[in-house]
Every structure is written in structure tokens, then in C-alpha cells.
Amino acid sequence: MTLDPLEFVPWETELHGHRVIYRMAGSGPPVVLIHGMVNSSRHWEQVALRLADEHTVIAPDLIGHGDSAVVRGDYSLGAHASSIRDLLAALDVERATIVGHSLGGGIAMQFFYQFPQRTERLALVSSGGLGREVSPLLRGAALPGAGAGVWAAAHPRLLAALWALGERAQRGGRGIGVYLQAVARALRPLQRPGARRAFLKTLRSVIDARGQHVSARDRLYLLTGFPTLIVWGERDNTIPLAHGRAAHEAIPESRFVTLPKAAHFPHLEDPEGLADALREFVASTEPGRIDDADWGDVIAARPPRPTERSRPAT
């Protein structure tokens, strides 16, 4: 299938009896863009169109997000990764470069862990799952009984006021303006009741009152030698830039790029910078390949610690 590189076209399919919306553009080696919480595929448009001249870009609406179905079911990272695997199988895409933003970064890492044979490269953008620290706003939303507060925070008048306040702060040269607009942008999709339910279920699957409780740090060694890019907005106040630096240090041969113009949403705040980083990364690396038969060797590549050494069961 050859798609117009100037249009990020929405498509609809059905998986397991539920509607799934995804957007595609361009032609060439496939690149999958996974959005974060309360985002959707449409938020990738400016990045996708910049990649579409050389790649087939595929961006799904995660279940419970965007225009995909809101279901009563599993909203864990593994469930989202499996849904993306199923979508790619339905599209006859065997292997792809996997890119994930925020929650989508955690899903991208889980996708690699569950389906390494389907992953050619991994790119993490302001990714979750790399440390406990996260913004107080998200920790608060994860508390029991926070649903009413989420509903109130997503009120259109409040979001309009928050956006205007952010604009005034930016005109006055105050950096908090970018953060205020990022908050307003993140909350806007929650005006749909179904989206609020899906948001809370997804949020609580990875975050509690103390911060992120799901971590990929113990498995980053699996990416040793695998083409991996880490991109972070230098103004990010949602997930610390330090998480990206630590992950880069933990993954030998990984690449680390920071974007001075961006906060937590580089695909919206600096799409050109992010697209350039992704394009250069893909162009300058060979696709990784891990077959099922190789996975045991990948896991065994890290010598166990003394307390971890395998011993016969008794």
C-alpha cells in the first residue's frame, strides 16, 4: 500500500470485537508511533508527515484513547503492546521501528520485551518506566476518589483559562508558561466520560501516590547493542530529564538527544527537532534482529549477581 506523504489518514479496523482507529502516511520501511496518556494518533501528525517521505508511518489510537473503543478490560502496558502487535499483524507488518512517547515509551519497551522478533529499532521520547519520579499532578490523579477531580480539571472553561495563563506567562518570559499549556493540552481529551475512565485505569496501572510503580530499568541490559534512541525535552517537568540520561548510561551504544525547545510533548512542541532526530537515527543504523531462538542468549548475556545465580530447585 502506498499512501500520500502529505496526508495522515485515519483508518478503522476491528480487533477482538472492538473498534481500533489508526493513522497512516507515506511509504517505505515501517515506523510505529505510540502516543502517551490522553494523547492520540492525531497528536503525531507533524512528526508523521516529516517522516512519510521515506517511511510508512503507522500511529494507533490506543484502546480507550482517541477514537478507539473504550473497553472494560486490561489497560496494562502488556495489553497495549499486544494490541499493537495484533494491529501490525492485521496490516501485514512483520517488523518495524517502534517509537513511544511517555506512557507510549513504556509500551514500546514492553513491545520489545514481548515481541523482540518484531522490533527493528526502539526510540523512547520523554518515556515513562525509567524511574519513580513523576509530576505531582499525575500522582494526585492516581489517588482513590480522584475521578471527580479529573472531571473538574477537564472542564472547558478551566482549560481555556489555563491555556491563556500559559500564553501570558510565555509572553512575560516565564518558563512556567510552557508547562501550563502542556497541562491544558493533556487534560483536554478528558472531556469525554469514556476517556476519563480509560485514563484513570491506564494511569493507575503504572502510577500510584508515590510515583511510577512500573519500571523497565532491570531489563535495559536486553537492549545492549540493539539500535536504541532516547529523546527528551529539556523543559520537561512531568518526567525528569535525569531518567533519560540514566537509561542512556545503562544501555551501551544507545543514543541520547535533548530538545531545548520542548517540555514533555516534543512531538507537539518541537516536531521538526524530533522528526530530525528520528530520521537521522533510522538512516544511520541497521535494523536490529532478534529471532525467537536468540532470546535465551540475549537474556544470558548479563552475568547474574551472586544472589541471583541459578541453582537447582529443591
Task: Quick: pLDDT tens for 52-61.
Answer: 999 999 999 9
For range 3-15, the mean pLDDT: 83
The three cell numbers locating residue 194:
469514556
Residue 59 CA to residue 194 CA, distance in Å, equals 21
What pLDDT is stored for residue 309 in this prediction?
A: 45
What's the order of all strands across the beta sheet hosting 18-25?
9-15, 18-25, 56-60, 30-34, 96-101, 119-125, 228-233, 255-259
What pLDDT is stored for residue 129 in this prediction?
A: 94
pLDDT at residue 222 above 90?
yes
Share the mean pLDDT of the chain. 86
Catalytic residue among 68, 236, 248, 270: 236
Tell me if residue 53 is catalytic: no
pLDDT at residue 2 above 70?
no
pLDDT at residue 306 above 50?
no
Higher-pLDDT residue of 214 and 150 is: 214
Pairing mode of beta strands 119-125, 96-101: parallel
Residue 214 CA to residue 109 CA, distance in Å, equals 12
Least confident residue range of 15-19, 109-113, 197-201: 197-201
Catalytic residue among 68, 102, 126, 205: 102
pLDDT digits (tens, 9 = 90+) for 225-284: 999 999 999 999 899 999 999 999 999 999 999 999 999 999 999 999 999 999 999 999
Highest mean pLDDT among 70-84, 107-121, 169-183, 190-204: 107-121
pLDDT at residue 28 above 50?
yes
What pLDDT is stored for residue 135 in this prediction?
A: 84
Highest mean pLDDT among 1-5, 16-20, 163-167, 172-176: 16-20
What pLDDT is stored for residue 285 in this prediction?
A: 97
Tell me if residue 80 is catalytic: no
3-class secondary-structure state, position 101 = strand
Catalytic residue among 43, 55, 243, 264: 264
pLDDT digits (tens, 9 = 90+) for 236-249: 989 999 999 999 99
Chain centroid to Cα 75, Å, comes to 14
Residue 237 CA to residue 117 CA, distance in Å, equals 34
Neighbours of 301 (CB within 10 A): 11
Residue 239 CA to residue 60 CA, distance in Å, equals 23
Tell me if residue 236 is catalytic: yes
What pLDDT is stored for residue 247 in this prediction?
A: 97
What pLDDT is stored for residue 310 in this prediction?
A: 46
Neighbours of 146 (CB within 10 A): 17
Residue 255 CA to residue 196 CA, distance in Å, equals 35
pLDDT at residue 301 above 60?
yes
pLDDT digits (tens, 9 = 90+) for 65-83: 888 888 877 889 999 999 9
> Thinking of the domain 9-134+212-308, which architecture would CATH place it in?
3-Layer(aba) Sandwich (3.40)
What pLDDT is stored for residue 227 in this prediction?
A: 98
Q: Give me the percent of the chain exceeding a pLDDT of 90.
A: 57
Q: Are the C-beta atoms of 261 and 270 separated by less than 8 Å?
A: yes
- Rg of the chain taking only CA atoms, in angstroms: 19
